[in-house]
A and B are shown apart, each in its own frame.
Chain A
Amino acid sequence: GDSVTQMEGPVTLSEEAFLTINCTYTATGYPSLFWYVQYPGEGLQLLLKATKADDKGSNKGFEATYRKETTSFHLEKGSVQVSDSAVYFCALSQATGNQFYFGTGTSLTVIP
């Protein structure tokens, strides 16, 4: 079946460091891919998404490119801030089958 695998956390970085959170997926067909972010004490909110191969989603300095050849959707940011401290979830959605799959989440802490 379909699934999403994220790199294990927690991740701790200094402010202005480069961030990569790996995400790979297993799916049939052409799913849509998402990154959601959960700030402390809050619900998840969409960070970015890509709906077809080679699409790049971007928001708030974060980027991720839908790579079908490597079945990956890695999240990157060039310079993290303390306010980026949160849990990041990679997710996959299929147009058919009424299913939505979340990864296990990666906790990021940015220290000043």
Chain B
Amino acid sequence: DTAVSQTPKYLVTQMGNDKSIKCEQNLGHDTMYWYKQDSKKFLKIMFSYNNKELIINETVPNRFSPKSPDKAHLNLHINSLELGDSAVYFCASSLGLAGGGTDTQYFGPGTRLTVL
């Protein structure tokens, strides 16, 4: 069984469109994250939720809005897509609070977003 799953795996869209990426974890974890990985493999945390509550909200454009309907799901909605949004987006989860000391993060397979 997949621990952290994301859909879709690939997303190609035009500038100005709105799109969503879905993430689900079946590990029973309390905390979920969204990361953005650029073409140079640099990984940047965007958001973190703990039990549906926003914990980390890094400097990310308002066009990005996370939604956590329950603690097993954390979706990412992006409005008015721009060329610079092209990247691989990773969802992750951990047992405890974000940065909670010893907790391991479990990553999904990633969603490659290409904005044309």
Contact = CB atoms under 8 A, between A and B. Distances in A.
A98 B47 CA distance: 11
Interface residues of B, number: 26
B89 to A, nearest CB: 11
Contacts, number: 69
Given A43-B110, A94-B99, A104-B40, 9 more contacts: A34-B104, A36-B105, A42-B109, A93-B99, A95-B100, A96-B99, A98-B99, A105-B42, A107-B41
Interface residues of A, number: 26
A43 B106 CA distance: 9
Contacts of A36: 105, 107
25 contacts: A32-B101, A38-B41, A42-B109, A43-B4, A44-B43, A44-B105, A44-B107, A46-B104, A46-B105, A46-B106, A51-B101, A51-B102, A93-B101, A94-B99, A94-B101, A95-B99, A95-B100, A98-B99, A98-B100, A99-B56, A100-B99, A100-B105, A105-B41, A105-B42, A107-B41
Contacts of A87: 41
Contacts of A1: none
B97 interface: yes
B101 to A, nearest CB: 4
Interface of B: 4, 33, 40-43, 45, 48, 55-56, 90, 92, 97-110
